[in-house]
Amino acid sequence: MAQNKDGLAMRLTRFGNRYLRAALAAVWLTPAGCQRIPYIDQSKPVPHDPIAAVAHEDQAIRQAAFLSELPVQLPDVAPPRTPDNAEAMEPWPITLEEAIQIGMDNSEVIRVISLGAQGIPVTGFAPTPLNTQAGAALGAGTLATVYDPAIQETQIAQALSTFDAQLSTRLFYESRDFLVNNSIQAGFFDPDTNVFALVRQRGAPQGVPSFEAAISKRTATGATLRVANQVNYTYGNSPIQTFPSTYTAQTTLQFSQPLLGGSNQFGPSGLEANRAPIVIARLNADTSVWRFKAEVMAMVRSIEQQYWALAQQQVQYWSRQQAVRLGEAIFERELEKKRVGTGSEPDVAEAEEQLRQFQLDLVQATSDLITTERQFRELLGLPPYDGRRIVPVSEPTTARLQPDWESSLAQMISYQPDIVQQQLLVRVAELQLLLARNQLLPALNLDVLYQFNGLGKDLDSAFAVMTGKSVLAIDPIIAQQQSAAGVSPAPAFFNNFQTWQIGLTFSMPIGFRGPLAETRQAQYALLRQRAFLQQTVHQSTHALARFFVEVDSNYKLLKVAGQLREAAERRLEAQEAFFEAGTINIDRYLDAVNRWSNAVATEAQFKTSYNTAIAALEEAKGTLLAYNNIAVAEGPQPRKAYIQAIDQQKAHHRIPIPHDGPVAPRPVVHPPVADPVEPMPTPGTYQTEPSPDFPAPFGTFGPPSQPVGPTVPVGDPAPLASQPPGELDPAISRAAAPAGPPPGSEPLHPPSTPEPTPSTPLPPLPTRSLPQAGPSSGPAPAEPIRETAPIDLPPLPSGG
């Protein structure tokens, strides 16, 4: 009894020592893990500087760190143009095709400018800012990129990965020493022995094989195939074992096929249900491609819109510049007339006031021109300024465009990206409904297993027995029968140790409330997508009708604006002649100059609106890319994809392939194939054969157009400065430099004008000429506008 107490005390002492060591280790590790290293060395003296000086020093340190370690390298960009330094080093003539090419080359991020709600292009707006969800100040929308379709394309591989073969392996070894209160379990029986039995086991853990390698794969019908090989090593000290250590080898073949319904473990049943996720991923990828195509169309339309806006600003700047030149000449003549005694102070003051107004309009036109060019550069992906001034040189379309409504409507239904996207989304909703209805079926699975078993003293013998080698063993039933018959049991050779099983697993929820709710949700989602499709067609039809109206109305406005500009020119010529003769007051001549400048700017504005409306009409039909000979193409596929495509074509016997044809062509390096929509010919071009009903480059209304391109401004004036009356600002006087008319143009004033009354010669008025893109015989004749038939209105109600 004393020995037991001593042994117990010794064990308690050891147990206490272990806990004491563990507690000391925890106390030592806890502060070591939670200790925080101070930012400032506490051994150094703390400085006692004023707070303001410390804050100033910290600010300098932060500024130096910001300038020395930037997360992004500073771009090498020249200072932008302003009205103070409006003159550029050199002009950069650029056509519309070149502008679109530059924009497409720099379009990793798609930049778009919106159209107005009433059909008028929004001018002065920058592209939609990028929203990275970091803050609402960056913008409300997101920008599309060229990587979006590729990102969505990866979802197809993600859906196909469900059917990839899965390889798994594991290796375990366990050693267990424990006591049992059962001598029979220990392998002997002795009633006189009053002690515990010691059991020692080595090898595989309970229920887990020592080594297992398995490969499984899911088929297109939802079946799961699995092949596994297991090896178990066991060692024990029990005397009832024939051998102390043995190896067990097993090869298992499993097959599981969902017959009805589906589950999260086995997946859906049926070929269509298993293919549905892959088809959905492909439809989503196609939707992403069409969404990207819509963004590219919007970007091309934005480039065209801003290109014509820049051309408009060029013409408006030129008209304001001509008005300033005329105003300066009139002001100088009035000063000269007052000096010789034939003028009056009110005429000088009126001429100066109108000159200042012309100069104010010129400064505003200069600012608008610089702003429009900067926005155009932003769309093209160019820096704000690179020492060049962009000058549009493409001739705007002035011929009438009469598209056919039925053909345009058919093209809109077939090629409008919004409509095609909604059609794809309807198909996605139908497949999702198919998956939801699959869950309404009860789950019924067929499970089949076949296993080869082997046992041996070593690994080689275990595999040999598993593969069919005979082994010497005793059948207990036969040995018992032999013992009962008085015959000594004798071992025999046995082989082919297999295990097989087959069974059905059935399960179903009572009530199906969850699957029914998911099915109803999928049904409503399908109805919603169909309603969205109808609404998209409805909105697209209205948008197409809207741009039909805008094309026609802007064409008529352009023609009337051209007639207004010609009338303003004739009035200006007549007023100039009478002003030279001294028969009219100065205010009428100044008003004629102002109206002529406004008429030139108005005509340029409607040219921009008409050309933008044509581009918007093509965008509404979904044919803008084909109209500009642009195609959206995917990159080359892997070589294996071409081989599989050839095999599928041969299997379907649809497309015959020559025997010597390439089965794996090289990646396409030539320009991509254009869209199936034929590009519309440029309006205004002559054709030998009659124009088809659609697309019609020009109608039968009026003669062919005489396109007039914008003129390159000579130089942008500096901002106005304060000056006393009677003196001209040298910066403004730059605009008065004589600029000869382009070849082929004639001055607007008559060839002979009356001489002024005083003997002192007055300075002559400058010549004016409209901007011409090239030599021409003269302005195009005015085209008469069709008379609108009177509308019968109901009589007004009588008053009282």
Of 18-27, 70-79, 457-466, 674-683, the poorest mean pLDDT is in 18-27
What's the rounded Cα separation, in Å, for the pair 686 and 708? 17
| Structure-token pair, residue 694 | 């659609």
Q: What's the pLDDT score for residue 530?
A: 93
Across 279-293, 471-485, 627-641, 733-747, the highest mean pLDDT is recorded for 279-293
Q: What's the pLDDT score for residue 747?
A: 40
Q: How far apart are the first and last CA of the chain?
A: 132
Q: What is the mean pLDDT of residues 545-559?
A: 92
Q: CA dihedral defined by 305, 306, 310, 311, rounded to 10 degrees? A: -30
Q: What is the mean pLDDT of residues 355-383?
A: 90
Q: What's the pLDDT score for residue 405?
A: 92
Angle at 596 between CA 593 and CA 599, to 5 degrees: 150
Q: What's the pLDDT score for residue 766?
A: 57
Backbone angles phi, psi at 384, to 5 degrees: -60, -30
Strand partners, 253: 227, 450
What's the rounded Cα separation, in Å, for the pair 272 and 278? 10
Q: What's the pLDDT score for residue 392?
A: 93
Are 405 and 696 in contact, with CB atoms under 8 Å apart? no
| Structure-token pair, residue 633 | 């193409």
List helix spans (H) across 341-491.
Answer: 345-380, 405-415, 417-438, 459-466, 476-484
Q: What's the pLDDT score for residue 722?
A: 36
Q: What's the pLDDT score for residue 254?
A: 94
Label each residue of 469-511 as H, E or C.
CCEEECCHHHHHHHHHCCCCCCCEEECCCEEEEEEEEEECCCC
Q: What's the pLDDT score for residue 59?
A: 53
Diameter of the chain measured on Cα atoms: 163
More confidently predicted of 228 and 731: 228
* CA-to-CA separations, 310 to 85, 391, 547, in angstroms, rounded: 19, 8, 22
Residue 535: pLDDT band (50, 70, 90) is: very high
Strand partners, 232: 248
Closest to 232 (Cα-Cα) out of 208, 256, 268: 208
Q: Which residues contact 701 (CB under 8 A, 6 or more apart)?
A: 400, 402, 783, 786
Q: What's the pLDDT score for residue 21?
A: 53
Length of the chain measured in residues: 800
Q: Which residues contact 127 (CB under 8 A, 6 or more apart)?
A: 111, 112, 113, 143, 302, 375, 378, 379
Question: Which DSSP state fits 121?
Answer: B
301-348 confidence digits (pLDDT tens) = 999 999 999 999 999 999 998 999 999 988 888 888 888 888 788 888
Q: 10 Å Cβ neighbour count for 713?
A: 25
More confidently predicted of 681 and 580: 580
Token pair 């079946």: residue = 223
Backbone angles phi, psi at 505, to 5 degrees: -120, 125
- Rounded (10°) angle between helices 271-340 and 417-438: 160
Q: What is the mean pLDDT of residues 269-295?
A: 89
Decide if pLDDT at 419 tops 90: yes
Q: Is 597 exposed, middle or buried (0-12, 13-18, 19+ CB in 10 A)?
A: buried
Decide if pLDDT at 529 tops 90: yes
Residue 100: pLDDT band (50, 70, 90) is: very high
339-365 confidence digits (pLDDT tens) = 888 878 888 898 899 899 999 999 999
| Structure-token pair, residue 266 | 């086995």
Q: What's the pLDDT score for residue 421?
A: 92
More confidently predicted of 359 and 765: 359
Decide if pLDDT at 450 tops 90: yes
Q: What's the pLDDT score for residue 736?
A: 37
Q: Which residues contact 217 (CB under 8 A, 6 or more apart)?
A: 163, 164, 165, 166, 224, 225
| Structure-token pair, residue 768 | 């004016």
Residue 425: pLDDT band (50, 70, 90) is: very high
Task: Report the chain's mean pLDDT, rounded to a whole number.
Answer: 73
Strand partners, 389: 91
Decide if pLDDT at 587 tops 70: yes
* CA-to-CA separations, 298 to 591, 772, 784, in angstroms, rounded: 42, 31, 35
Backbone angles phi, psi at 402, to 5 degrees: -125, 80
Q: What is the mean pLDDT of residues 372-391?
A: 88
Q: What's the pLDDT score for residue 507?
A: 87
| Structure-token pair, residue 71 | 């997360």
| Structure-token pair, residue 116 | 């107005």
